Structure 1
């Protein structure tokens, strides 16, 4: 009995396991921290390497493709035709000083204000802005539209038909806009449609964000920087949106063969 009592006696010293457990946990904590720092360092190196690569690529002349025909100077898109058959006539619209001040100097332009011969009130403004080495040549169209005093009421998709060309049509974003105009008869609400697309070397993107994603993919994985063409049409919609889209379809049908390169063309 005395031996058993001694074995479990309260006065008997009990070994302290906490210090040994903490000694075991310390190396494990050091290993975990080391792995975390290693992973963080690898991530930072990867990000910095990608930034340096993209910066170097952006500093090079564009080595990608161009989705539109070029003028003789190699900078601007080809001049849009003056006459579209016998039904439309185009007047050249100059680029404003404000636009040239905001956009990079290697940005290209080609634009016409088309009017129907039978009714000069039926007009379609057609513009091509071609990016250069700096991707800021093309920005989100909605920002410019609002800055010009238009109110965007709705945004929709539309696919213009392309008879005799590549299947799939010409996808575009449609901005349904309006603006109040002061006239001798009072304030008049003017509705219009603004349609835009982005034409790359081998694709047509309908939205600004899809263009950004495609451009980033080409730059990172193909070391390719296309010169994107921002194609825009604008027309009055007081006679109805169906009539407005039909006018733009007519103008696009007769301008597209002039500015767009045939599939597979490298010139």
Structure 2
């Protein structure tokens, strides 16, 4: 057999073996435990249709009035059907408003996505994308901060720039990261070594603000998360 033919055969065998390994892992994988609290509380879309019998528990927080929100049907229809959601809006006494969203994957890992793709698709221009730190007690945990801007037209016809500040991270039982690639790496290693498919959740909090108020808004979001996260996230 010629050298070129031999290499072709070897490459083919490697592809077959890799495919077989993937099929085996899929058939024998076990779904891990989540790192967020799941409650037996149903969740609905904007039309009042039930889209899930369970939801991620998001707490009431001192100093805020809050309300559980529905899941947009476009999100429910786009993501895998075993995805579990949590969504709640909070408003402080001074009018500061924020929204907290959680997306928890099931057996289909494509539930978890990055806001870097969603925001530009909604007309927002990302102007900052960087890691930040969240302090919870003595812990210092990583979160990622995104600042994006969009020109919105006011009632009188003039346009002004509005910013959205978002803090997000990924969490599963015993693990927390702000880096999407690190999450994927940890998930792959865990599945290969133990057969467990980690059940990751994407947690995001965001608020709108005027241009120039992004740092102050970031601090408000960090303060909120330092209060709220221990109530619904299992800290590593």
Which range, TM-score by smaller chain?
0.7 to 0.9
Tell me the CA shift for residue 40 of structure 1.
Answer: 2.7
Q: Structure 1 residues 180, 34: CA separation in 2 closer, same or farther (over 3 Å shift)? A: closer
Q: Distance in 2 between matches of 1:203 and 1:260?
A: 11
Q: Which residue in 2 is equivalent to 1:132?
A: 106
Query: Following the alignment from structure 1 to structure 2, what is the Cα–Cα distance between the partners of residues 96 and 40?
Result: 46
- Call closer, same or farther: CA 1:35–1:234 in 2, change over 3 Å: same
**Equivalent position of 1:159 in the other structure:** 133
- The C-alpha deviation readout for 1:67-121, integer Å capped at 9, x for no partner, is 111213684222x123x22x2111222101111111112111112111111x22x
User: Using the alignment, how far apart are the partners of 2:148 and 2:2 within structure 1?
Assistant: 61
Q: Once superposed, what is the RMSD of the aligned Cα atoms? A: 2.1
Greater helix percent: which structure? 1
Gaps of at least 5 residues in structure 1 are 1-29
Partners of 1:126 and 1:233 within 8 A in 2: yes
Runs of 4+ in 1 over 6 A off after TM superposition: none
Match of 1:257 among 199, 218, 230: 230
Q: Please list the CA deviations of residues 195-216 of structure 1 after superposition, one character each: whole Å capped at 9, or x if unmatched.
A: 2111112211212222111111
TM-score, normalised with respect to structure 2: 0.85
What is the aligned partner in structure 2 of residue 63 from structure 1? 31
Q: Any residues of structure 2 matched to 1:218-237 within 5 Å, and which?
A: 218-237=190-209
- Superposition TM-score, scaled by structure 1 size: 0.76
User: Compared with structure 1, are the counterparts of its residues 262 and 207 closer, same or farther at alpha carbon in structure 2 (3 Å cutoff)?
Assistant: closer
Higher-Rg structure is 1
- 1:100: which partner in 2? 76
Higher strand share: 2
What is the number of residues matched between the two proteins? Answer: 223
